[in-house]
Amino acid sequence: YSTGDEHAQGNWGYLDQVDALQWIQENIVNFGGDPSLVTIFGESAGSFSVSALVNSFSFGQENLFYQAISQSGVLFMAFLFSSNIKWVAKVSTFYSTFAGCKTTTSAVMVHCMQQKTEEEILNITQEMKFLFLPAVVDGIFFPRSPKELLEEKQFNRIPYIMGITNQEFGWFLPNNALHEFIMSSPTNSINFKVFLPTLQKIPKVLTLMITEEYLGVTNDPVRKKSLFLDVLGDLTFWIPTVILARLHRGEFYVYEFQHRAVKADHGDDIFSVFGSPFLKGNTSLFAIKAS
C-alpha cells in the first residue's frame, strides 16, 4: 500500500518484519536463544519477504539474522515488486475507495485507512480478491530497485537456502479457464501472456521459442496441460530463484522439492517442514510431538 508520497511510502509490512527481528535480537536470550544464530524462513509470500530482507541493507539487516531459507518465492518475481509507483498509488487509492475512505488527499486517505481494524482490512481484501499489493522503492527499505541493489552487490553474504516445488502451479489444474484455453489453442499458437502478463515485454519470437521448447513435443491434451504448468512454474518461480542464487555472494544451496507418487504443488513442502498435525485442528499432543 503506497500513495507515492510521504504519507504512505510503502513497504510497511517489511518494516514491521524489521521491527520484529530487532525485538528478537533484544529478547531472544531470555527464551534460551542465541541472537547470533537467528535464521529467517518463509514460504510463498513469506519466502519473498525473506529474500527482500536478505537484499535490503537499509536497517543493518546483516546484524538481525545470520541464515535464510526461501521456499517458493524470491526477488525478481515481477508481480511482487513494482517500479511503477504511480500505478501502485492508483491501486492503493482504489483500495481505499472500496474501503469507504475519502481520497481527496493522501493524508486524508491514509488517516482513514489507519482507523480500520484488522478484521475490516481482511474483509476488504477478500471482497476485492486482491492477492497482494507489490513492494515499491520507498527510499527506506528499498532505496533502489532490487535489481539495482543486486547489480551493485549490496546484499548480505549469509548462508542461504532457496528452492521450489516441482509443480508450483498444480493448484491451477482445476481451473476451467485453463482447460478451455489449452483445448482451444493449437500448440504452436498458445499465448502464454494470457496467464503471465509479465511476459508482455518479451519479444514474440522468444515467446514462440518457449512454446516450441515446452509444448512442441506433444499434442496430447493432458500432457500439454501439465507441460503448460511447467512453463508457468519455471517463469514465475524457478528462473528468478536461479538468477538470485547466481548473484548471491555468500554460501547458497538450491533445491527442488518432489513427491514420489505425484508432483509437489505450491505449499506442499509445508507439510514436510512442520508436519501435518500442525495444519489440522483437534490434534492430540502425542501426534504433535511425534510429528
Query: Other CB atoms closer than 10 Å to residue 205's CB: what's the count?
Result: 7
Task: Please identify which of the residues 43, 96, 168, 248 carries the catalytic annotation.
Answer: 168
Provide the edge-to-edge strand list for the sheet that holds 252-257. Answer: 39-43, 67-71, 160-165, 252-257
Q: How far apart are CA 92 and CA 102, in angstroms?
A: 12
Q: Is the dihedral of CA 260, 266, 270, 271 positive or negative?
A: negative
Task: Please identify which of the residues 49, 51, 56, 266 carries the catalytic annotation.
Answer: 266
Task: Mark whether 168 is an active-site residue.
Answer: yes
- The secondary structure element, H or E, covering residue 255 is strand 252-257
DSSP assigned state of 235: I
Contact 14, 80 (CB under 8 A): no
For 227, half-sphere exposure in the C-beta direction (CA atoms, 13 angstrom radius) is 18
Contacts for 112 with CB less than 8 Å, ≥ 6 apart = 96, 99, 100, 101, 102
Amino acid, single-letter form, for residue 74: V
Amino acid, single-letter form, for residue 225: K
Task: Please identify which of the residues 44, 58, 83, 145 carries the catalytic annotation.
Answer: 44
Task: Mark whether 82 is an active-site residue.
Answer: no
DSSP assigned state of 140: S
> Burial of 114 by CB count in 10 Å (0-12 exposed, 13-18 middle, 19+ buried)?
exposed
* Dihedral angle of Cα 128, 132, 136, 140, to the nearest 10 degrees: 110
Contact 81, 146 (CB under 8 A): yes
Task: Mark whether 266 is an active-site residue.
Answer: yes
Catalytic residues: 44, 168, 266
